Amino acid sequence: MRKNKTVITVTFHSLAAESQLNGFSLVGHAGYAKPGQPDIVCAALTALSTGTIGTLQDILQVPIAYEVEDGNIACMVRTDGLDAGKLHDVDLILRSLQLAVQQIELSYGDEYVKIN
């Protein structure tokens, strides 16, 4: 049984009246590795999240607000003024991240990563 009680909690945000995703946040640490050792669960989620932020900002070129700090990654797309095509693209990118996070949760267990 695992002694470390930490977990990364992942939340996906959607537009109030619609089901389209417009942001995400990750809070916490996985605690998968022994102290002082590289944590592959944290590393995977960090890589996926920062890659998604880069895709939204540099490839889709949509306005975003984001924060990347130790134990906290958050990104929200500023949807005001975006046309339906851009909103669809944003939703697609964020659903891709959501699917990847679900796969990590299934592979390593919800004691390390939990999706709200």
Reference 94, options 83, 102, 82, 106; nearest CA is 102
* 3 inside domain: no
Domain with 65, as residue range(s), is 8-115
Residue 1: inside a domain = no
Q: Which two structure tokens, joined as six digits, stand for 31? A: 């605690």
Strands 113-115 and 8-14: parallel
- The answer to whether residue 1 scores a pLDDT higher than 60 is no
97 located within any domain: yes
* Structural domains in the chain (count): 1
- 59 within domain boundaries: yes
pLDDT at res. 4: 52
Q: Is 95 contained in some domain?
A: yes
CATH number at residue 84: 3.30.70.1490
pLDDT tens digit string along 86-102?
999 999 999 999 999 99
Q: What is the pLDDT of residues 65-79, one digit of tens each?
A: 999 999 999 999 999
Q: What is the pLDDT of residues 10-66, one digit of tens each?
A: 999 998 767 899 999 999 999 999 988 999 999 999 999 999 999 999 999 999 999
- Rounded Cα distance between 57 and 112, Å, is 28
What's the pTM? 0.91
Domain assignment present for residue 37? The answer is: yes
Examine the pLDDT at 5 and tell me if it is beyond 90: no
